[in-house]
Structure 1
Amino acid sequence: MSSRPERPPSGPVVHIPERAHARISRELANFVQTAGSLTLDERRLIVDQALILLEQNYVHLPLKAAMYGVNPVQRLRVLQRRTEKQTEQTMPPEWKFHADISEIFLSLKDLHTNYLLPEPFAGKVACLPFLIEEYSDQDGSKFMVTYVSKGFHVPGFAPGAQVTHWSGIPISTAVELNASRFAGNNLAAQRSRSVQSMTIRPLMVHLPPFEQWVTVNYIGPDGKHREMRESWRLFDSPPGPVDTGTASSAALSQAVDIDTQETNRAKVALFAPRVLAQQSAVATGQPFPGLRPGEIPTRIPIAFRAQEVQTPSGVFGHLRIFTFESDSPRSYVEEFIRLVRLLPDRGLILDVRDNGGGDMRVAECLLQVLTPRKVAPEPVQFLSSPLNLRVCRAARSLDIDFSAWIPSLDQALELGAAFSGAFPATSLAAANSIGQKYFGPVVLVTNARCFSATDIFAAGFQDHEIGPVLGTDQNTGAGGANVWTHDVLCDLMANDPTSPYVPLPKGSSMRVAVRRTLRVGAQSGTPVEDLGVTPNRVHRMTRRDLLEGNADLLNRAGRMLAEEGGS
């Protein structure tokens, strides 16, 4: 019997007009083949600097080698040797160099530790003009179109259309194959990020897709089977927070998945004009547009959405937190407090799904608002290495204090300890300076795209027993680290003439998980990395959730709040 997948039912084939299709395809193909101008010496420099970061700064290197059987340091040494043998005439195309070094970073399955491609890749996003999402019913997992960009019209292809095949491959298989190509700290995270990257890929962290178009088989709302072909498009990345490259307190407190944050900004630009209009209204002092029933205007629409929701168990507050990134941590925390005070005090659904993190200090400082308990910030550890010890000592010249970690790093060189001592990055005073401001029961909603500062927030929420955690996946993204850029490391060692860090060429960069986080409370000492936060209960997203504003999910959360004493 043949093991080949069943051919999708036949139906009308929808084509883009050939002239437009060819033009769009050429744009991507030409970009892949011609983008970039790194010299051979610049490539060698990138490999050398990557080797320093992964061998001497990367805090999860022992864990990743044990869990995944990888040896990124040796792979970089091999790549280093190959580039030494190359000449300007024999070196491979630039995209191949980026693919080789990206593959080494991706083998770590760590969304904190990245090779960031130079311009012009860094300024572009590859996308298809629609989103697909996964849901479950009695027949198992299915994939549905949930958003279509303005101006994109294909018969039967609209929110609610069910995708069955992707370029001739059954969609579930295509998602599994795609998952193996992308980083993710556990199976749930890999699958979730695979679905996300089927239609949006920031080229800062991903090479452009090598297929110039995809063929999608789908069942429209009218029940008809159809097939369409759609080309990948390129557009300019939406602006994000300004990165000065200096060792500021904000830069040293970053705990963020840059892939998710770049993707979320692209989603807003492509599919959420309402948020852009709200941001503009806040900036110009105009009336807040596009309010939904029960929604409360926010001063930071890119970070928050607050509204009252009616469930069979009662009326509760629903607060989405999309990011912990902020140019003003104080203003961010103040806005969070203002919003929770305006929401019903009988219960709060705090929803951090798809939040890729941000400033770990901001995330940890929010916990006190929700509990009468004294908050213990998560302690963090460096990898024990001579270079990390030098970095901590050199920071003194910039009035940056890592003195708590220096004695254990110094001692570890003699004792052979793998890690430094563990001390909080967020001060105990800051984590408890405000106190409780919301006094009702709280349910936290998570998924596998919660990462970094959001993992830290979810772990703190659970460790301080603030309330139950309701997950739409079996785990959070499991990113437990404070991440620094190569530029920050350069800046920390700027006054040391023997610094091994050299600025990278043409806007390329790297990020490295430099301090790992450990849990407190009942799971004290357990690393967050690759383990994440296991929810108390799991709710699988339904078709109704995707089409009707999370209706079933919010009803489930409402029942949990009622059990906690909300009514």
Structure 2
Amino acid sequence: MTQTKRPPENPARFTSFVAAKVSPLPASGLIIDLRGNPGGYIKAGELLLQLFTSQRISPLGFRFRPSDAVEHLLSTSDYFDAWEPTVSQGTRLGEEHSGTFPIEDDEAAFNKIGQVYSGPSVLIVDALTFSTADIFTAGFLDHEIGQVICTDENISAGGANNWQYNVLRAAMPGFAFPLSAEFELESGQVGPITVASFASAGTTLSSAAVVKRLPDSDFGKFCEITENGQSYKIGKMVWLRSNLAAYFPGDNRFVDDLPAGVDFGFSIRQGIRKRGGQGLVLEDEGIVADHYYRMSATDVLSGNADLISYACGLLSKPVTPRHGKIGLPPIST
């Protein structure tokens, strides 16, 4: 399939974009090649599964590791409401993991369009199939959409919700306070709502403090309050919370600012498989493919000719249930 234009970034629009491309294709069979796909927006990847099956899609469940830090993150956000009670309970009871929930929305959101391609499908993956592409592969297997060919011993096994450190820093303010203080700050003054909010968090702030607007960032609108040589950032991030948030540089008890130019990524939530792979961890484990294929010289030199022929031969074969199928068989020649 040739991509004629850049797909939209909105997950629902992206799914509709792909649906429009695959729905008119011949029902004789479809080969989906995810080799080398680095992943991307998790919800977008999982939304695509419905297009290739009549089964109802159950998206991966994602879970936190309960801790005081994670509890603080959730308590200052509106984005993780589903997880908050189980994280709070897990922290009290010493549980290893929170409850599991879809990455966004509920199960109904992943089944709004339904199947648009009725023919058989085969999925090809390799060791560079990563992140959201890992998650799509697991869903393809667990819903028995079609057979999976792996040209390596496993996929990348990066099936988790990955964040960069700067996202974590944005999600971990000192405290949140009412959005009604925004009008005060936009006028360039510290008003009574802001003063009272800081006081409730144990910080004294007077109406003489200086307010300066900062350039918008990827995480929303910011301003800076300075008084007696101490500065506080105030952020408004509608994707994360409905209120404002105050950031205390250098004294956050969970995360601190990194030196300039330093950043790293990590897994914040772990993905747990559903349906045929119910309860299995995807991160670091990967999947067990139906077929392990070793690339031929013809594949390398002539546009995957042997691999495509091999995949076409599988389109007519039935998909068998995979319940309990774990462990990695050796790659065959």
Aligned 1:130-529 pairs, distance under 5 A: 296-300=2-6, 327-396=9-78, 400=79, 402-427=80-105, 428-494=107-173, 495-496=245-246, 497=248, 499=252, 500-529=254-283
| 1:542 pairs with 2:296 | yes
Could you tell me how far apart the structure 1 residues matched to 2:317 and 2:96 are?
A: 44
Q: 1:481 to 1:297 in 2, by over 3 A?
A: closer
| Aligned residue pair count | 243
Preserved CA contact (<8 Å) 1:449 1:476? yes
Could you tell me how far apart the structure 2 residues matched to 1:387 and 1:561 are?
A: 49
Could you tell me how far apart the structure 1 residues matched to 2:76 and 2:163 are?
A: 16
| 1:462 Cα deviation after fit | 0.5
| 1:535 Cα deviation after fit | 0.8
Amino acid paired to 2:150: G
Aligned 1:46-65 pairs, distance under 5 A: none
**What TM-score does the superposition give when structure 2 sets the normalisation length?**
0.69
| 1:564 Cα deviation after fit | 4.4
Amino acid paired to 2:281: P
Could you tell me how far apart the structure 2 residues matched to 1:562 and 1:432 are?
A: 26
Amino acid paired to 1:510: F
Preserved CA contact (<8 Å) 1:478 1:531? yes
Could you tell me how far apart the structure 1 residues matched to 2:118 and 2:164 are?
A: 39
Could you tell me how far apart the structure 2 residues matched to 1:342 and 1:475 are?
A: 32
Could you tell me how far apart the structure 1 residues matched to 2:29 and 2:152 are?
A: 23
Q: Calculate percent identity across the aligned residue pairs.
A: 37
Could you tell me how far apart the structure 1 residues matched to 2:11 and 2:305 are?
A: 32
Q: Which residue of 1 aligns with 2:310?
A: 556
Amino acid paired to 1:460: G
**What TM-score does the superposition give when structure 1 sets the normalisation length?**
0.41
Preserved CA contact (<8 Å) 2:159 2:270? yes
Amino acid paired to 2:84: I
Amino acid paired to 2:32: L
Preserved CA contact (<8 Å) 1:380 1:425? yes
Amino acid paired to 1:346: S
Q: 1:554 to 1:393 in 2, by over 3 A?
A: same
Could you tell me how far apart the structure 2 residues matched to 1:393 and 1:296 are?
A: 45
| 1:522 Cα deviation after fit | 2.4
- Match of 2:77, SS state, is helix
1:54-73, CA deviations, whole angstroms, 9 ceiling, x for partnerless residues? xxxxxxxxxxxxxxxxxxxx
Preserved CA contact (<8 Å) 2:31 2:122? yes
Across the aligned residues of Structure 1 and Structure 2, the Cα RMSD in angstroms comes to 1.8
Could you tell me how far apart the structure 1 residues matched to 2:290 and 2:3 are?
A: 31
Amino acid paired to 1:480: G
Amino acid paired to 1:515: R
1:498-532, CA deviations, whole angstroms, 9 ceiling, x for partnerless residues? 63333323232121100000011122111001111
Q: Flag the structure with higher helix content.
A: 1
Preserved CA contact (<8 Å) 1:446 1:469? yes
- Match of 1:563, SS state, is coil
1:223-242, CA deviations, whole angstroms, 9 ceiling, x for partnerless residues? xxxxxxxxxxxxxxxxxxxx
Preserved CA contact (<8 Å) 1:364 1:426? no
- Match of 2:161, SS state, is strand
1:354-373, CA deviations, whole angstroms, 9 ceiling, x for partnerless residues? 11110000000000011111
Ranked by relative contact order (alpha carbons within 8 Å, sequence separation 6 or more), the top structure is 2
Amino acid paired to 1:406: E
| 1:296 Cα deviation after fit | 4.1
| 1:477 Cα deviation after fit | 1.0
Q: 1:523 to 1:330 in 2, by over 3 A?
A: closer
| 1:530 pairs with 2:284 | yes
Structure 1 unaligned regions, length at least 5: 1-294, 304-325
Preserved CA contact (<8 Å) 1:340 1:438? yes
Amino acid paired to 1:560: L
